[in-house]
Amino acid sequence: HVRDIVPGIQEMCELHRGTSPTPGAIRELTFDINKRGYLLLLGLRTHRDWVVLRPQALRAAITSLTHTFRYTVADITGEFDGEEETASVDMEERNGPARFVCAEADLILICGSASLKGVRSIVNCRNDALRHGAEAARILPVITRAPRTRRARAEILAALEEFSRAEDALPPVFLPTIRGMEAIHAVAGPLPKQLISSITQPVCALLGNAEVEAKRAEHRGERLAPGSLNIGQSAAG
C-alpha cells in the first residue's frame, strides 16, 4: 500500500467551493521544488478521482492559480471531447481540466518523441485542440529526443506541415537527447542548461507577444456600437 501524498488538485478545488481563498491559502497547497525554482500543485492521485472535481470549483481553482502566479503551467491530457462530441456529460466532466486549460491557455505545448508514433500523436493532438477552439498561433509542437541531422529534422517538419489543419501553425521546437534525465528527475535536480535554453527561448518569445497583445487590447477597450450610448437621442414619451 502506497500512502497518498496530499494536498493536491482535489484539495485545491475543495478550497474553492463557495469561497474565494487568498493567494497565501493557494500557496499553502503547493510544494516548493526549490532546486528548480517553482511551486508544484499535485494532480489527481488516481485517474478515477476526476469524479470529485466539480466543474465550477475546478474553473475557479485554475483561475485563482493564474491570478496568484505570473506563470501557471498545467500538465494535461490531450483529450478534449465533451458532451457535444460524445453525448456524455460524464465524459465532459472527466475531460474538464484539459478542456478548460486548452480554451484559456496563452500557450499550449504538445510534446512527442521524434518517432513515427510521436509525430503522429502531436498531429492528432494539435488537430483536436484546434477543433476545441485553440488558435494555431498558440500551439507549439515540441519534439523530444530530436535527431541531430538537418535532413531528419526537415522530414519531421514536413510531416507536421502536411497534416496540419491550420496555415499559421507554429514550427516545432527540437529538444536534444540528454543522458541521465531519469536520475535527474529521481532527485528533482536542476535541469541541464542546454535543455532549458532550447525550450525557454521560444516559449518566452511567444508569451511576450501574447502579453503585448493583451495590454494593447486592454488599452483599446471594447468598440461601442453606433447609438449604444444614446447620445444625441431624446427620451421617448
pLDDT at 215 over 90: no
> Are the CB atoms for 124 and 117 separated by under 8 Å?
no
Q: How far apart are CA 56 and CA 184, in angstroms?
A: 37
User: What are 100-113's pLDDT values in tens digits?
Assistant: 999 999 999 999 99
pTM over cut 0.85: no
Joined grid coordinates for residue 128: 483536436
Non-local (6+) Cβ contacts of 178 within 8 A are: 192, 194, 195
DSSP E strand stretches across 58-169: 108-113, 139-144
| Per-residue burial over 135-159, b = 16 or more CB atoms within 10 Å of its CB, e = otherwise | eeebbbbbbbebbeeeeebeebbee
| Mean pLDDT, the chain, whole residue set | 86
Instruction: Give the confidence band of 194 by pLDDT, cuts at 50, 70, 90.
Output: confident
Q: How far apart are CA 215 and CA 102, in angstroms?
A: 21
> CA angle, corner 82, sides to 45 and 78, nearest 5?
55
In the predicted model, what is the mean pLDDT of residues 65-91? 93
What is the per-residue pLDDT for 229? 41
In the predicted model, what is the mean pLDDT of residues 207-224? 58
* Pairing state between β 31-33 and 38-40: antiparallel
Q: How far apart are CA 230 and CA 228, in angstroms?
A: 6
Instruction: Give the confidence band of 188 by pLDDT, cuts at 50, 70, 90.
Output: confident
Instruction: Give the confidence band of 227 by pLDDT, cuts at 50, 70, 90.
Output: very low
pLDDT at 214 over 60: no
Instruction: Give the confidence band of 1 by pLDDT, cuts at 50, 70, 90.
Output: very low
In the predicted model, what is the mean pLDDT of residues 196-211? 86
What is the per-residue pLDDT for 172? 96
**Alpha helix segments (H runs only) across 5-95:** 9-15, 23-28, 55-68, 83-86, 89-94
What is the per-residue pLDDT for 35? 86
Non-local (6+) Cβ contacts of 210 within 8 A are: 106, 107, 138
What is the per-residue pLDDT for 178? 87
**Would residue 18 be called left, alpha or beta, if left means φ above 0 and alpha means ψ between -120 and 50 degrees?**
left
Residue of higher predicted confidence among 222 and 102 = 102
* Pairing state between β 108-113 and 139-144: parallel
User: What are 33-68's pLDDT values in tens digits?
Assistant: 988 989 999 999 888 888 889 999 999 999 999 999
User: What are 116-153's pLDDT values in tens digits?
Assistant: 999 999 999 999 999 999 999 999 999 999 999 999 99
What is the per-residue pLDDT for 6? 86
Residue of higher predicted confidence among 165 and 46 = 46
* Pairing state between β 173-174 and 108-113: unpaired
Tell me whether the omega of the peptide bond preceding residue 23 falls within 30 degrees of 0, making it cis.
no
What is the per-residue pLDDT for 206? 92
In the predicted model, what is the mean pLDDT of residues 197-204? 92
